[in-house]
Structure 1
């Protein structure tokens, strides 16, 4: 990385912030030190550079990305910008979460990437669900599948069987949409032996799961043998680090884990279910209220079936009550239906 490029980039940031060379005295950096660096006469110490950047509200990693001049995160910033404009937030409105006007501007232009916790905090300020941001983010990369699986999931939660049948009939005639067809059919009736082999082979062959493939697994997994589920999960965990910083993935992974746990409990595979639920707890983030309530429902079902029936019933009833209090009729009806089907 050339000193001249770093110096030029630093000077650009300083001028964008409206700072003079002497303004850095407040963080213990002399005017001469900054001037020498900006003139590319000598490299500034890395800890001094980091302090100067923090003073301007810029993370060191973001600075280095800007120096490289690689707009590799352009869509993240564009989608954030679109939500900010829609909700009429200014660039200056995010300073209380440590996001400077300049830093946000560079992010929205696709020149730097922000830390995930900063993006998440900004979305919370704008009351944008992480799932909605993720959906907008993924749209355009696998856009047809994103839209179809969104519609399929909505239809499934609303018990709109006619819509699911329509998706199945449309998808089953097209080779590229076979997984969509299997996902839709799995909502309506059990898959046959050939189809189970097809989907099992497909999931085993995935090296990098997309959100659509996670949604397909959630809908299909009840058709798979326990040993097959075990092997697929083992294979997924082997590459889990691929998804640690992908926005929205952790919610889908939690949904998949809870769906599998519920299936295993019904199959009396209690130790396997206990292991998945235990690992599921490590995935929660601060505002995962719905995921936590869903987790409590499934955990309650585990207690009901295996350890403490009365305690389990209370946990499940409390979870359903919370969904009702939140005013989410669709989710409330879904969990109430599960309760009536498997408990009463």
Structure 2
């Protein structure tokens, strides 16, 4: 990740928070901050942390925002509309490993949440992927189904790193038991205990 990437992300967050460079010059000189946002310089992590605190933004969220992941603005906007229509607050997703602050940033198109997080929150609101995808596709965004194809693509490309990442992101959430174990099967790393767990699940299915 280059200084340019960090600077551009920082500028986007600052403008979203409607904070001017002048309001931050007690931490970093305005000229230095301008150069940072243009990718022309960098400064110590302590300075960055102080600037982010002024923006009410954590370092963890900042690095999450700098991931090389394309942001589709409509995803967050559609999600926010559905959440408000269903009467859900940002705090109503406490059982899902995502913070209220991250959801707020997702809805503001500052960061892009992973598929597993979006799917879990949709389930919490009793909204199907089909309904969410339908609303997305009424706009100009890519189909939500493209996210589902990531696993297939990774499998056929033999990209175990991507499969491993997806497994690690879903394994801690019980509602994703089948999904995470399915990915683990593709990795050929499933244990006998996990096989029995899958068998037990299918025995309960009518």
Task: Name the TM tier (shorter chain).
Answer: 0.3 to 0.5
Rg: which structure is higher?
Answer: 1
TM-score normalised per structure 1: 0.32
Higher relative contact order (CA 8 A, sep 6+): 2
TM-score normalised per structure 2: 0.46
Larger helix proportion of the pair = 1
